[in-house]
Chain A
Amino acid sequence: MAEPLTAHPTVAEADAHAPVAHIEHDTNTGISNTKLAMWLFLASECLLFGGLISTYLLYKNPLEGPSGADLFDIPFTSASSFVLLMSSLTMVLAVSAIERGDHHRMRIWLGSTALLGSTFVAGQIYEFTAFYREGLGFTTSRFSSAFYTLTGFHGVHVTVGIIMLVVLVMLSIRGRLPEHRSETVEVVGLYWHFVDIVWILIFAIVYLIP
């Protein structure tokens, strides 16, 4: 501890007894740095998806080649959407497990979240190949470019989320995810829920609105 060297007793005293934050939860806002950063990052992601969705809406009508109505298999996509939404539930269970200090359960739930997410991505890949066989290539029409870019971007986001979940499981197995850093899981959960919410929007806008 350094000796305060100021000759101004009141200031020096005030400085010496300043209530300085020791831990992350003790920030000015009461939200930890990482969580706030994730919220901010997700705020900017909103604009990213907003731009992509706007583009899709502008180019919804293909003018040539197959249209969405010709291709979409609504029951199939509904099923894969349901899988993705269920992964939000498992994510919540993972977070509550680690808050109880139950590392084993947390790993199980994180693993199931990753598995459900992977199922969704696999469904998307299957869907894309099916559309491609029916004549909707990336360069076919303005609609196809917008559709593949929007849904593909979302798929990449899910993939990134899966990578994060796997990293968390790895960290946990290595014992580098102690209780006092359980917030990490929560922050990844925020990202995961965000990606799910975006999918609800995309599913409604792309698939359900004729």
Chain B
Amino acid sequence: MSDSTQLALPSGGGEPTYRPGGVFARPNTTKGWRSWVTTVDHKKIGVMYGATALFFLLVGGIEALLIRVQLWAPRGTLLSADLYNQVFTMHGTTMIFLVVMPIGAAFANYLMPLQIGARDVAFPRINAFSYWIFLTGGIFLNTSWFLGGGADGGWFNYAPNNGVIFSPSNGIDFWNLGLIMTGIGSLTGAVNLITTVLNLRAPGMSLMRMPVFTWMTLVTQFLLLFAIPVLTVAQVLLMMDRLFDANFFNVAKGANPLLWQHLFWIFGHPEVYLMILPAFGLVSEMLPTFSRKPIFGYPFIVFSGVAIGFMGFGVWAHHMFVSGIGPISVTTFALTTMFIAVPTGVKILNWTATMWGGKLQFTSPMLFSIGLVTMFTIGGLSGVTHAVAPADTQQTDTYYIVAHFHYVLFGGAFFGFVGAFYYYWPKVFGYLLNEKIGKGNFWLMLLGFNLTFAPMHVLGLQGMSRRIYTYDQGYGFELWNKVATIGSFVLATSVAIFLFNIFYSKAKAKSLPAVGADPWDSRTIEWMTPSPVPFYNFDPIPTVSRVDDFWYRKYGETKDGQLVRIAATDDVVQKRTDGKGIHLPSPSYWPLVVAIGLPIVGYGLLYTLWLALIGGLITVGGLFGWALEPPDDPDAGHDDDHAPDDHSASGGEVAPADVSEEADDEVAADKEVETVG
């Protein structure tokens, strides 16, 4: 909007007086379960994202253990071939869509507004919706276990295997519709978080002063914004095929199965980068803190992340080297794939250089961060070997690939996330996780992880295929499979220890003094807030003057580069206030209503169209309730506590938020409703 359209604002009390009561009144609970169900606070939503992701981690972990037990010895009999297909498919789907991406979203939601000095995200209710639709979509996806079996086509679900001919059960429909739902949530979340980063930064917080994690969040959300629609297209086509007999993947009518692969991987490759980038960002927060040095080459870290984001869209066909796309395509994508290793390498070098010469403190977050750097490097190196197309022809669909992507996803993303859990736990919950247990947790996880996945390199090079439910004697697969299975249980133990540590530390915390705002002597402004963070985040909003602003409020440098303290931490951090005069959005339950409506539409499409109609009505009704909700407060996060008389302008609900919301939900809902009528 140009300045010429800056509107003259009515002075004082511009609030419309439209306030229906009863069912349309906005809830205002701040305690108890209702406050969680109706919350629009980015911090609560972040916590719920994390908790839900950890729950799904257990689900996916059990599936992984089933796989490993089945492969313990030749001719395993735990799972039938068909059930094995379902288990590894659901393992992959759960771990990717319901664990790693949501944990990234959890940190993005919780930390990013704090790191840029905002009160909340740009559209708090859309934020709540993103979470609820992720939850209901994930539950919808997993109910397939009780309704005729899970999806059995692999997480990538290639055509024509995903058609009704080869997969007659409802599993793939559940997969399809469930992921369309979680995709809608990711898309709305992406729009929301990008808007937040671009629009709601604190004074002085220019883009090149933002913490690295915020940068990585921004890149991640852009990747989601452009990748998710492509997956949605693929899944809509598949839905048309499976439910309405269309011919998109019907080879008998001349369809091209490669269409699915192209659409899926145009989404799928950016997807793998958007899973790892949040972890990269978190590591870039932790390493400088525990090296007591600024991150080495901040612009390089930022721009390599942006470059990874851009290039991530140009490498998708390296997943299809043996699908017959032709030598020219293969060569092209081999080159782009080798090229994308460069910015990733830049990051690794930067992290190493950050630690170089620093005063390292080996706390648990630091150990996990170093674990990420080393394990990700191993995974990255095996990844570059895939870029060599002739080698990939041999490696593809073997356990070598499985080893590679577990090294980058588990050894990369997940190590970073666990480290970040240890690092940010005091900020979120107000108590530290036990360090001793944390270190034990790290070493056990590292051991279990390497025991599980390192042998898979060997197995893959020996020629053991992925996705086979058993193997015969005499191929030499027995030893390494046994090692991997033992390792997987060590790994499961380490995850259990992490969960135990949460409860143990919580119990112990009662007898310990409360943790301060800044337990780690950190660098970025989210540590200025009291722990746990109050509902208003900052009071007052800080003004930022440089990268790692908070650090330089505490420390200065002498002429010869020695650190000197210039202010005590207690003087620099903010004290808890009553938050008076800070106006934040009221809770709302419409996001939940809309998110409950969509899975009902999904069940309706699979079982009876009447149900789809009911679900569609709930969804559309929820959207209208949302759009017409009393305008008690702005969906705009930037509100100033210093001048209460200025609130009039931002008063009122911002309808377009919901309207754009309607645009993508009703596309989904209407699409389904229209196919009914």
CA–CA, A145 and B198, complex, Å: 40
**Chain A positions within 8 Å of B67 at CB level:** none
**Chain B positions within 8 Å of A174 at CB level:** 18
B348 within 8 A of A: no
**Chain B positions within 8 Å of A198 at CB level:** none
A99 in contact with B123 (CB, 8 Å): no
B200 in contact with A28 (CB, 8 Å): yes
CA–CA, A168 and B652, complex, Å: 15
> Residue-by-residue, is B528-547 near A (CB-CB < 8 Å gives 1, otherwise 0)?
00000000000111110100
B523 within 8 A of A: no
A209 within 8 A of B: no
B643 in contact with A22 (CB, 8 Å): yes
Q: Which of A157-172 contact B (CB under 8 A)?
A: 157, 159-161, 163-164, 167-168, 171
**Most A C-beta atoms less than 10 A away, residue of B229, B582, B656:** B656
> Residue-by-residue, is A1-13 near B (CB-CB < 8 Å gives 1, otherwise 0)?
1101111100100
Majority secondary structure of chain A interface residues (helix, strand, loop or mixed): helix
Interface segment among A39-47, A66-74, A81-89: the answer is: A39-47
B655 in contact with A19 (CB, 8 Å): no
A8 in contact with B567 (CB, 8 Å): yes
B342 within 8 A of A: no
Query: Closest CB-CB distance, A113 to chain B, in whole Å?
Result: 14
Query: Closest CB-CB distance, A61 to chain B, in whole Å?
Result: 8
B244 in contact with A138 (CB, 8 Å): yes
B199 in contact with A29 (CB, 8 Å): yes
A6 in contact with B572 (CB, 8 Å): yes
B191 in contact with A35 (CB, 8 Å): no
Query: Closest CB-CB distance, B14 to chain A, in whole Å?
Result: 7
B638 in contact with A187 (CB, 8 Å): no
B230 within 8 A of A: yes
A8 in contact with B237 (CB, 8 Å): no
**Chain B positions within 8 Å of A159 at CB level:** 670, 674
**Chain B positions within 8 Å of A47 at CB level:** 226-227, 229-230, 233
**Chain A positions within 8 Å of B592 at CB level:** none
Q: Which of A14-54 contact B (CB under 8 A)?
A: 14-16, 18-38, 40-41, 43-45, 47-48, 50-52
B195 in contact with A33 (CB, 8 Å): yes
Interface segment among B135-143, B253-261, B422-430, B505-513: the answer is: B253-261
Query: Closest CB-CB distance, A170 to chain B, in whole Å?
Result: 8
**Chain B positions within 8 Å of A183 at CB level:** 1, 656
Assuming the A-B contacts A33-B122, A48-B229, A181-B654, are A156 and B674 also in contact, with contact meaning beta carbons closer than 8 angstroms in the complex? yes
Assuming the A-B contacts A6-B571, A15-B543, A58-B256, are A23 and B14 also in contact, with contact meaning beta carbons closer than 8 angstroms in the complex? no
User: Could you name 23 residue pairs across A and B whose Cβ atoms are closer than 8 Å?
Assistant: A1-B644, A2-B579, A2-B581, A4-B540, A18-B541, A24-B650, A32-B199, A33-B123, A36-B122, A37-B660, A44-B225, A48-B230, A51-B229, A51-B266, A139-B247, A142-B248, A144-B247, A152-B674, A168-B655, A174-B18, A180-B7, A180-B649, A183-B1
Apart from A18-B542, A168-B655, 12 more pairs, CB < 8 Å: A7-B567, A25-B6, A33-B636, A43-B225, A59-B254, A99-B5, A145-B247, A159-B674, A163-B666, A164-B659, A178-B14, A180-B10
